[in-house]
Amino acid sequence: MSLLHACKVSKRYGGLQALDDISFEVEQGEIFGLIGPNGAGKTTLFNLLTGSERADNGHFTLGGERLPAGPPHAVARCGIARSFQNTRLFRELSVLENAMVAADARARTGLWATLAGTRAARAEEAACRASALRWLDYVGIAHLADAAAGTLSYGDQRRLEIARALAGQPRLLALDEPAAGMNATETGVLKRLLERIRADGVTIVLIEHDMSLVMAACDRIAVLDFGRLIAQGTPAAVRHDPVVIAAYLGGSHAR
Ligand SMILES: Nc1ncnc2c1ncn2[C@@H]1O[C@H](COP(=O)(O)OP(=O)(O)OP(=O)(O)O)[C@@H](O)[C@H]1O
């Protein structure tokens, strides 16, 4: 069953067609890779999907319901969470506090109750702390709860970002280059984490340049080049597609 449907999505920046009439479907429970050379339009697609920018044409549906074009918190409420290419952590705050900020977005108590320190607010803070710790444990960094987020290794910062995204209890997790800057060991740990997240019922869309991770972790892959969808299919099919090979070899930006 398809969970996410991108329907004829286009985006232009001045004279540049960043995305041109893009349509694809992501099945419930898939790890779906979105690849392509630098500047192909991958992050733009995430920006449109998650409501931080608006498409010129087209739209997305999640579970058959049309997603709002924005703002991001309205899209998040529909069940989509995102991590960013450059982590957006509060570097001075502790790892636990970073996770609590995300878990707190789901809390119900109002600001005045929190400031007044009411019993309900205290109970909610305790629940929020416990929830944040559970997500840190889930991604394997609970032992770093008291460290300042800015002191974490790159791989651990990425895992904290994923914990923060999961705290919103999404149906679909959109990850923008989660393996960037990771060594092979960290990438292996990340792959197992992605598989666990999927096993727990969260569908994943993954932008990634690390082809060994993409090929090993993804069920299907869509390939963008200069804003167009040039191929989609299984990793084995995409890997041998001459159009894809030409796009990667032909661009001055191929990695
Ligand atoms: N706000 C913007 N204004 C103008 N051009 C933009 C803007 N955002 C992206 N672009 C351009 O749109 C194209 C697609 O960019 P995008 O960041 O989506 O590519 P990408 O596939 O994510 O690349 P990378 O792998 O390098 O992150 C690029 O040519 C980029 O320069």
Comparing C-alpha atoms, which of 212, 209, 196, 210 is closest to residue 31?
A: 196
What's the CA gap between 173 and 252, in Å, rounded? 31
Could you tell me if the ipTM is greater than 0.85? yes
How far is 179 from 59, CA to CA, in rounded Å?
28
Q: Is the CATH number 3.40.50.300 carried by domain 2-79+170-250?
A: yes
- Burial pattern 223-248, b for ≥16 Cβ within 10 A else e, equals bbbbbbbbbbeebeebeebeebeebb
Tens place of pLDDT per residue across the chain (255 aa): 799 999 999 999 999 999 999 999 999 999 999 999 999 999 999 999 999 999 999 999 999 999 999 899 999 999 999 988 777 889 999 999 999 987 766 555 565 666 666 777 778 888 889 999 999 999 999 999 999 999 999 889 999 999 999 998 999 999 999 998 899 999 999 999 999 999 999 999 999 999 999 999 999 999 999 999 999 999 999 999 999 999 887 654 444
Q: Where are the domains of the chain?
A: 2-79+170-250
- For residue 94, CA distances in Å to 73, 137, 157, 196 come to 24, 15, 12, 25
Taking the complete model, does pTM exceed 0.95, yes or no? no
Residues with CB under 6 A from ligand 1: 13, 16, 18, 36, 38-44
Residue nearest to atom 8 of ligand 1 (CA): 44
What tokens does 188 get?
Answer: 């292996």
SS3 44: helix
Mutate to test the pocket of ligand 1, among 10, 44, 209, 224 (most ligand atoms within 8 A of CB): 44
